[in-house]
Amino acid sequence: MTPTAGLDHLRRYAPIVDDMPAFLAAAGAPLPRVVWSNPLHGPLDRTDARIVELCPEARPVGWRPHTWRLPPETLPGRWPLHTIGGIYGQEEAALWAGDLVGARPGERVVDLCASPGGKTAQMAISMADRGTLMANDRMMGRIPALRRTLDRLGITCAVVTRLDGVHFPRPEGGADRVLVDAPCTCEGTTRKSAGGRRAAPGEGYRHSIAQVQRALLRSAVRIARPGATIVYATCTYAPEENEGALDALDPSEVAIEPLTPPPGLKTCPGVPEWGGVYFRPDVVHAARIWPHHNDTGGFFVARLRRL
């Protein structure tokens, strides 16, 4: 199989990607592994040094501290350091979304679609493991992976629930922060060696998942207190699932905030139009992460302010 085999469906993004050959080449290449050191496990510098000892080819991710890029063939999940919670492996493109939530100690934070728990764990660590982190996932089969992530990383501030995020109950006084890491067509995961999606998503599925995404976003707006932060993220390129979902929100209820990516992480603005449909103007404040810009997977993220 050629590196770009099965990726023809991504050519629909020619109008919004700057370099289609580079995009397709990157989307078909093996994905570097990325791990970050867990501060709840022990001193970060000690864990960082151990990562380099175990994998001398490890290189720091320039835009995020205590985060390491490993060759694609590395299997850090087999290291005892991983099993005992010293590190967590996460797709680099997804990391910024968890950071953007900006969760603080003592807050009430809701993660509507939490499993397998990477961004949930990022938020718990950002909270210094203090406060209430509602880690929810609707799918029973995904709960064990979520619990294992939280347990392995030593997190004690999380409450795991198995509810439909669309009908998630509003915490008393409202949530301080809400993450909607929405189910999507996963077009940005083509680089994963296992579990990556290469088959073209059907238009029917794309339409139905877009409806779920809009409902989850409306739910997030409902449970957030005035002034709260809402982060919306997907691992797909489709504007129907990204800017289109943001466009469905009432501008009198939420504003889309401008984002400043950390130095070293290249992002592109949200697209204002797709297929002849023009979105609300502030969707350009969202960020797109293309695989050929940072040698990562593909990702979309937006930070909203509840008005």
Partner 1 sequence: MPACADFEPLPDQGLVPRYCAERFGIDPAVFAGHVFWRRAGSRLIRIADRGCRPPPGVGVDSIGMQVMRRPPPRGKLTSVFLQRFAAGATRNVYRLGDAEALRFMARETVSITPVDDASGYAVVIGPDGVLGCGRVVGEQLHSEIPRAWLHDA
Q: 212-241 mask for partner 1 (x: CB under 8 A)?
A: ------------------------------
Label residues 5-16 b or e (16+ Cβ within 10 Å = b).
ebbeebeebeeb
CB of 30 or CB of 202, closer to partner 1:
30
The reply to whether 157 belongs to the active site is no
How far apart are alpha carbons 153 and 132 in whole angstroms?
16
CB of 17 or CB of 134, closer to partner 1:
134
Label residues 39-71 b or e (16+ Cβ within 10 Å = b).
eebeeeeebbebbeebbeebeebebbebbbbbe
Taking the complex as a whole, the smallest distance from the CB of residue 293 to partner 1 amounts, in Å, to 30
Taking CB under 8 A as the criterion, the residue among 11, 59, 130, 207 binding partner 1 is: 130
How far apart are alpha carbons 278 and 295 in whole angstroms?
30
- Which residue out of 157, 184, 186, 235 is catalytically annotated? 235
Which residues ranging from 68 to 97 are in contact with partner 1 (CB under 8 A)? 75, 77-78, 80-86
Judged by CB under 8 A, the number of residues near partner 1 is: 42
CB of 78 or CB of 226, closer to partner 1:
78
Taking CB under 8 A as the criterion, the residue among 29, 40, 215, 255 binding partner 1 is: 40
Taking CB under 8 A as the criterion, the residue among 55, 134, 256, 302 binding partner 1 is: 134
Q: Which residues bind partner 1 (CB under 8 A)?
A: 40-42, 50, 75, 77-78, 80-86, 105-106, 108, 129-134, 143, 147-148, 150-152, 154-163, 169, 171-172
Residues tagged active-site: 235
